[in-house]
Amino acid sequence: MKVIDHINNAKDTVVSFEVLPPLKGRTINSLYQHLDPLMEFKPSFINVTYHRSEHIFKKKSDGTFEKVEVRKRPGTVGICAAIMNHYKVDAVPHLICGGFTKRETEDALIDLNFLGIDNVLVLRGDATKNEASFEPEPNGNRYAIDLLKQVDNLNNGIYQEDDIREGFRTHFCIGTAGYPEKHFEAPNMESDLRYLKAKVDAGAEYILTQMFFDNAKFFEFVDKCRQAGITVPIIPGLKPLTNKKQLTIIPRIFHVDIPSDLLNEMNRAKTDEDCELVGQEWLINQSRELKKAGVPVLHYYTLGKPAIIYNAVAKVF
Give least dist CB 142 to ligand FAD, A: 8
Q: Rounded to the nearest 5°, which phi and psi values hold at 65?
A: -115, 145
- Answer for the pair 311, 280: CB distance below 8 angstroms, yes or no: yes
Nearer to ligand FAD, 237 or 279 (CB): 237
- Name the pairing type of β-strands 119-123 and 90-96: parallel
Q: Point out which span in 58-66, 151-159, 191-199, 286-294 binds ligand FAD (CB under 6 A).
A: 191-199
C-alpha dist (Å) from residue 84 to 88, 147, 311: 5, 24, 24
# residues contacting ligand FAD (CB under 6 A): 22
* Cβ count within 10 A of residue 266: 20
If residue 274 lies in a helix (H) or strand (E), which one and from where to where?
helix 272-292
Helix (H, G, I), strand (E, B) or coil at 2: coil
Residues 227-246 that bind ligand FAD (CB under 6 A): 237
| Long-range contacts of 53-57, Cβ-Cβ distance < 8 Å, separation of 24 or more | 53/99, 54/128, 54/129, 55/128, 55/129, 55/130
- DSSP states along 205-257: -EEEEEE-S-HHHHHHHHHHHHHTT--S-EEEEE----STTHHHHHHHHH--P
Q: Is 195 in the site for ligand FAD (CB under 6 A)?
A: yes
Q: Point out which span in 23-31, 182-190, 262-270, 284-292 binds ligand FAD (CB under 6 A).
A: 182-190
Residues 256-285 that bind ligand FAD (CB under 6 A): none
Give least dist CB 304 to ligand FAD, A: 16
Q: Is 145 in the site for ligand FAD (CB under 6 A)?
A: yes
Q: Is 190 in the site for ligand FAD (CB under 6 A)?
A: no
Q: Point out which span in 140-148, 150-158, 266-274, 290-298 binds ligand FAD (CB under 6 A).
A: 140-148
Q: Point out which span in 22-30, 106-114, 122-130, 164-172 binds ligand FAD (CB under 6 A).
A: 122-130
Residues 47-106 that bind ligand FAD (CB under 6 A): 49-50, 94, 96
Q: Point out which span in 4-12, 120-128, 221-229, 239-247 binds ligand FAD (CB under 6 A).
A: 120-128
Nearer to ligand FAD, 19 or 278 (CB): 19
Burial (CB count within 10 angstroms: exposed 0-12, middle 13-18, buried 19+), residue 126: middle
* CA 256, 36, 235, 73 torsion-angle sign: positive
Nearer to ligand FAD, 2 or 94 (CB): 94
- Answer for the pair 9, 281: CB distance below 8 angstroms, yes or no: no
Give least dist CB 18 to ligand FAD, A: 7
Q: Lay out the site mask for ligand FAD across 201-220 (x = CB under 6 A, - = otherwise).
A: -------x-x----------
* Cβ count within 10 A of residue 304: 15
Q: Report d(CA 290, CA 233) in Å as an integer.
A: 14
Query: 215-227 and 189-201 are packed helices; what angle lies between their axes, rounded to 10 degrees?
Result: 60
Q: How far is CA 209 from the centre of its chain?
A: 8
Q: Point out which span in 29-37, 149-157, 186-194, 273-281 binds ligand FAD (CB under 6 A).
A: 186-194
Nearer to ligand FAD, 2 or 199 (CB): 199
Nearer to ligand FAD, 84 or 196 (CB): 196
Contact footprint for ligand FAD (CB under 6 A): 49-50, 94, 96, 123-126, 143-145, 177, 183, 185-186, 191-192, 195, 199, 208, 210, 237
